[in-house]
Amino acid sequence: MSLQAIVLTLLSLSVSTIAAPARITARLSPGAATTNDNIQGWLDNIANVNGFLNTAAAGTLTGPALANSASLLLQDIPGAAADEPNRLMALSGLISPADTTAVSASEDLMTIFGGVLGNLTTIVDNSGDAAVISSAVDQINCLRCNFVLPDIDQVFAGAVANNAGATSATTVGPLVCPIPAAGSFVCPAT
């Protein structure tokens, strides 16, 4: 092999070893897949909580049947309301500490999530009391429409912005607030 041939072979080897990974990292950051997985998992949880709230609003399920549906959401399994704090912890670790909007939304969620789980527990514990159930459903709608879902949108946006290649997503609300935002559901008087 001539010297020129050896140099050309070495050049083409180094170009091919460098080029492939460089193309991949440019499109997909290390956190992109985890971001997408947790956003999708959280959207699944939201869809199930929305289904519960829509069923309650429509009166399709009432009393013990509705309470049973609430108890499923309280199990710490994918798709449940009790899985939402897991998604929050995962995505909070993927936002930039400098992103004050996403960080404060994450902190707000950590303090208000308990209210959703608490009101679901109220429904489970009062399956025979239609007035208590109705009030707890209103409280959950109040929390989710006005605070929880808009905060989740900020956490999604923060994680997507900080992990190149992740797919942006927004929440949808239950039928009482299809587009969640502050003021999208009138909270019950306390």
Ligand X SMILES: *[C@@H]1O[C@H](CO)[C@@H](O)[C@H](O)[C@H]1NC(C)=O
Q: Provide the binding-site residues for ligand X, judged by CB under 6 A.
A: 115, 118-119, 122, 139, 142-143
DSSP conformation class of 166: P
The residue number with the shortest CB distance to ligand X is 118
CB closer to ligand X out of 35 and 119 = 119
Q: Are 72 and 80 in contact (CB under 8 A)?
A: yes
Minimum CB separation from ligand X for residue 186, in Å? Answer: 12
CB closer to ligand X out of 119 and 163 = 119
Question: DSSP letters of 38-86?
Answer: HHHHHHHHHHHHHHHHHHHHHTSS-HHHHHHHHHHHTSSSTTSGGGHHH
Minimum CB separation from ligand X for residue 145, in Å? Answer: 10
Residue of 137, 130, 143 lying closest to 56 (CA atoms): 137
Backbone angles phi, psi at 157, to 5 degrees: -60, -40
Minimum CB separation from ligand X for residue 140, in Å? Answer: 7
CB closer to ligand X out of 64 and 118 = 118
Q: Are 185 and 177 in contact (CB under 8 A)?
A: yes
Q: Please state, in angstroms and rounded to a whole number, the distance separating the CA atoms of residues 77 and 5.
A: 60
Minimum CB separation from ligand X for residue 73, in Å? Answer: 14
CB closer to ligand X out of 95 and 143 = 143
**CA distance readout (Å), 68 to 39, 44, 62, 100, 119:** 26, 19, 10, 39, 14
Minimum CB separation from ligand X for residue 91, in Å? Answer: 23
CB closer to ligand X out of 32 and 123 = 123
Residue 100 corresponds to which tokens in the numbers above? 């004050």
Half-sphere exposure of 58 (CA within 13 A, CB side): 10
CB closer to ligand X out of 91 and 148 = 148
Minimum CB separation from ligand X for residue 121, in Å? Answer: 6
